[in-house]
């Protein structure tokens, strides 16, 4: 069934409750396809303006190196100027997140994380990502997604009331983080095609899009290894961008072959710009060093048991092992001076029976603990809950989750972890520093292993160096070449 026919059937069915209120079937100048959406271009701009502050509040802008923000804006402007929406204002933002991702809001708001920027190895590779996100905007994929979700979630009568309502995104079930969610495979490939178009028009080698896809794939594989995952990683670009690398590579090759070898790559210039950028956790999120988590602003620290690997996020710190046990550490608000035993049973675990509830002391602070059992897919799972009074209204929480057969063996390691929790002195907190990306020159005799030894990690040093630089063998290291390493200063 063609799109135009679907539009006509929708009209015949009475979905357009108010004549002229909804956008008509039109031809998109970027894709050449006819489309039907419940959002007009002016609606998209309005939604982007409303959602943009939420994105900034959720992720934050990377402000330490403002020249990088200006660089991303300039590169984005170069690509935007050759798009079908060149007359519409666009905003390009570098987010302070180590997540490897990029996304766009309707109306021309494009976001790149510093995690993704650190993984790219040339200006052309970054241009491929930015061009892809511009493609989502010019193809109006967000408007199409809102339309699909609205049509799926609302009846024909309700649709008439949705149009023009300033709460359109909320009624469609979209919040700030919804824009990071993935599009369909068809939308992703269409954005790739448009990105290739904009790259070539702006003078960048389109092959860089496919080479960066390879780096993204290797980064995804490494993420799975670090998190003991056998399936698809859910913490990076590929979890929100279903890809077709072979098709992208073929399309890029076809365009690149017509460029006469004059394409822009900008590898060395790009890498030099990255020198000194924060890598991994920012001070606002706290730092993971091996098995130790320390927060310079909250001024606290603890050490997880051996065999556990940690993952940091704005909301929580996670630590997990190969047996499926994990620890979640986060913060919450409690009524002033409420006993921790009361908080644990009546607020945190409300509605569930808590076993062996007791009041404990943690570094001189009031705390409470108890456990409960739930049924998992593979059998019973034990949850140990620990709530700690940090100040009058702030509670820090450990949730220790383990398959029942492993709980006994973890009891002492977890006691040691809880015993390691303590406040940091002002001097200790001030001494904490984020990891930095450093760009160094390859010298004669340098190898992957020699660079790996300079990486500020306790594990997977070789793999991390290779993924970060998009290399697979020592033969790719040539004297005079620039590479990235991660250091503590």
157, pLDDT greater than 70: no
Cβ-contact 172, 146 below 8 angstroms? yes
C-beta neighbour count of 399 within 10 angstroms: 18
pLDDT band at 240 (very low <50, low <70, confident <90, very high): low
C-beta neighbour count of 165 within 10 angstroms: 10
Q: What is the pTM of this model?
A: 0.83
Q: What pLDDT shows up at residue 248?
A: 66
Q: In what order do the strands lie in the sheet with 91-95?
A: 91-95, 109-113, 102-105
Q: For tokens 């396809």, what's the residue?
A: 33
Express each pLDDT in 329-359 by its tens digit: 999 999 888 999 999 999 999 989 999 999 9
Residue of 65, 209, 53, 63 lying closest to 133 (CA atoms): 209
Domain with CATH 3.40.1000.10 in the chain: 287-431
pLDDT band at 20 (very low <50, low <70, confident <90, very high): very low
Q: Decide yes or no: CATH 3.40.1000.10 for domain 287-431.
A: yes
Q: What pLDDT shows up at residue 191?
A: 87
Q: What's the rounded Cα separation, in Å, for the pair 387 and 331?
A: 9
More confident residue, 8 or 25: 25
pLDDT band at 213 (very low <50, low <70, confident <90, very high): confident
Q: What are phi and psi of 385, to 5 degrees?
A: -110, 135
Express each pLDDT in 38-53 by its tens digit: 678 888 899 899 999 9
| Exposed e or buried b per residue across 31-61, where buried means at least 16 C-beta atoms within 10 angstroms of its C-beta | beeebbbbbbbebbbbbbebbbebbbeebee
| Exposed e or buried b per residue across 339-363, where buried means at least 16 C-beta atoms within 10 angstroms of its C-beta | ebbebbbeebbeeeebeebeeeebe
Express each pLDDT in 374-385 by its tens digit: 988 889 999 999
C-beta neighbour count of 465 within 10 angstroms: 23
292, pLDDT greater than 90: yes
pLDDT band at 230 (very low <50, low <70, confident <90, very high): low
Tell me 32's DSSP state.
-
303 Cβ contact list (under 8 Å, min separation 6): 291, 292, 293, 416, 417, 420
More confident residue, 455 or 36: 455
Express each pLDDT in 295-323 by its tens digit: 999 999 999 999 999 999 888 999 999 99
Listed range (189-193, 406-410, 473-477) with the worst mean pLDDT: 189-193
Residue of 166, 172, 102 lying closest to 137 (CA atoms): 102
Distances (CA, A) of 314 to 99, 184, 310, 457: 11, 27, 14, 21
Q: What pLDDT shows up at residue 17?
A: 36
- The 3-class SS string of 141-154 reads HHHHHHHHHHHHHC
Q: What average pLDDT does this structure show over 253-281?
A: 86
Q: What average pLDDT does this structure show over 54-64?
A: 93
154, pLDDT greater than 60: no
63, pLDDT greater than 80: yes
State the first-to-last Cα distance of the chain, in angstroms, to the nearest integer: 60
Express each pLDDT in 434-467 by its tens digit: 999 999 999 999 999 999 999 999 999 999 999 9
């Amino acid at each position: 069934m063609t799109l135009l026919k679907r539009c006509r059937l929708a009209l015949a069915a009475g979905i357009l409750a108010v004549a002229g209120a909804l956008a008509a079937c039109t031809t998109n100048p970027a894709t050449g396809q006819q489309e039907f959406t419940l959002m007009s271009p002016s609606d998209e701009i309005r939604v982007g303006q409303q959602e943009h502050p939420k994105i900034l509040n959720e992720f934050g802008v990377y402000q330490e190196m403002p020249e990088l923000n200006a660089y991303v804006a300039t590169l984005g402007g170069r690509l935007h100027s050759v798009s079908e929406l060149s007359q519409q204002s666009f905003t390009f933002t570098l987010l302070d997140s180590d997540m490897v991702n990029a996304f766009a809001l309707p109306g021309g708001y494009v976001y790149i994380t510093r995690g993704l920027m650190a993984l790219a190895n040339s200006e052309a590779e970054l241009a491929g990502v930015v061009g892809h996100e511009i493609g989502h905007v010019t193809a109006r994929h967000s408007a199409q997604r809102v339309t699909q979700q609205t049509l799926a979630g609302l009846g024909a009568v309700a649709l008439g009331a949705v149009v023009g309502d300033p709460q359109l995104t909320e009624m469609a079930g979209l919040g700030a983080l919804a824009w990071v969610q993935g599009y369909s495979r068809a939308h992703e490939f269409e954005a790739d095609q448009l990105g290739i178009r904009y790259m070539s028009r702006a003078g960048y080698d389109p092959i860089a899009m496919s080479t960066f896809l390879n780096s993204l794939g290797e980064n995804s594989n490494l993420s799975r290894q670090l998190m003991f995952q056998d399936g698809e990683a859910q913490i990076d670009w590929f979890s929100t961008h279903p890809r077709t690398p072979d098709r992208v590579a073929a399309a890029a090759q076809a365009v690149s072959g017509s460029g006469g070898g004059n394409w822009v790559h900008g590898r060395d210039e790009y890498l030099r710009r990255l020198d000194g950028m924060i890598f991994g956790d920012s001070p606002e999120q706290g730092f993971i060093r091996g098995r130790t988590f320390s927060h310079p602003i909250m001024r606290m620290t603890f050490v997880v048991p051996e065999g556990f690997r940690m993952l940091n996020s704005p909301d929580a710190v996670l630590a997990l092992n190969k047996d499926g046990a994990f620890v979640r550490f986060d913060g919450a608000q409690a009524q002033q001076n409420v006993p921790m035993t009361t908080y644990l049973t009546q607020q945190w675990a409300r509605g569930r029976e808590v076993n062996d509830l007791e009041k404990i002391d943690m570094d001189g602070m009031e705390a409470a603990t108890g456990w409960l059992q739930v049924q998992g897919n593979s059998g019973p799972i034990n949850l140990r809950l620990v709530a700690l009074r940090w100040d009058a209204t702030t509670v820090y929480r450990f949730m220790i989750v383990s398959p029942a057969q492993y709980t006994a063996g973890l009891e002492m390691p977890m006691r040691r972890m809880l015993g390691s929790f303590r406040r940091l002195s002002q001097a200790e907190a001030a001494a904490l520093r984020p990891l930095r990306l450093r760009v160094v020159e390859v010298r004669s005799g340098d190898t992957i292993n020699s660079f790996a030894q300079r990486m500020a990690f306790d594990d997977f040093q070789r793999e991390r160096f290779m993924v970060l630089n998009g290399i697979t063998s020592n033969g790719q290291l040539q004297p005079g070449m620039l590479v990235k390493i991660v250091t503590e200063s």
